[in-house]
Amino acid sequence: METIAPMLAKAVPTVPEPDSVTGGLRYEPKWDGFRGIVTVDGDDVEIGSRGAKPLTRYFPELVEAFRAQLGGREHPVVLDGEVVVRAGTPGDERLDWEALSQRIHPAASRIAKLSVETPAQFVAFDLLHLDGADLTGRPFDERREALERLAGQLEAPLFTTRTTLDVETARRWFTTFEGAGLDGVVAKPRARPYEPGKRTMLKVKHHREADVVALGYRVHKSGSGVGSLLVGLYDDEGVLRQVGGVSAFSDKRRQELVEELEPLVERDADGRPVTGAGERSRFSSGRDTSFVQLAPERVLEVRYDQMEGDRFRHTVQFSRWRLDRDARSCGFEQLEVPAEYDLGDVLG
């Protein structure tokens, strides 16, 4: 089958009220994992990603689960959902974004090892093909009903997401499910077909603010200007720890930042900028991660969604410089910590 591009969502500030004009909304928890369009055709399984790179080779345990539970059919089954990794013990589980990120590895031996140590799960939230029928042109409510019928044949590590028509329930999910590592709520028009590549759905994510210290910057990949700022927070022992990065600057702003940060650049005895070795991740393989070190004096306000341990889970957004703040006052205690919630109760 041809690869299907996933239907996308546009951000809205709050959980939206149902709109009867468009046929109403169906609400779901927003899973924070790798989006995957899964095709099971006979014994062949393909996990397509939102980008161009398939995820199939990285999750052999899911391939086997799909083959065992949905393989051998006369016609392909195509599901839309999210690949996630859960951590913790029963009754105290949550999504583990860091463990999921580590699953993207070039070595087959490492992939096999992690598939046992940190096995993945797949949470389905749409059904696109079944029993020879293309369901993408049908309303979401019909696709959801078909998914629920199919869900009776599924078992761990394959799950089906919760859904509700009640906006107040969705608003409770938005607050409580964050404690299990989820990052918001998605609202889907009940009467709309599946529209690949279009931002038909609505998503509400957590947005918070924090004051952080600029530690350094990476040069933009073009070779000119600031590509990203590295930022940190002071822990209880007074140690400044790197907690993430800020990027997405315009071409003009990248050049301006070089001049603004020049007085803060730390230099060696010969006057050359001091550089540090940046942390590596699945996103930085084969890429220069070094950065220009800055004196930890400048404070900036950023917008973020969630923390993963002692780091921002995703790239944060620059809001403004805080010239009124003392860098030493920027600690972890300012961060909001959501109440814990068991992931097992979310999965059901």
Classified as helix, coil or strand, 25 is strand
Q: What is the DSSP string of 170-230?
A: HHHHHHHGGGGT--EEEEEETT----TTSEEEEEEE--EEEEEEEEEEEEPTTSSSEEEEE
Residue indicated by tokens 């952080």? 212
Least Cα distance to 302 among 231, 235, 218, 225 occurs for 231
223: left (phi over 0), alpha (psi -120 to 50) or beta: left
Task: State the Cα–Cα distance between residues 128 and 275, nearest whole angstrom.
Answer: 50
User: How would you classify the pairing of strands 275-276 and 317-321?
Assistant: unpaired
Catalytic residue among 10, 30, 188, 252: 30
Give the containing element (helix H, strand E) for 93.
strand 92-95
113 is catalytic: no
Kindly list the catalytic residues. Answer: 30
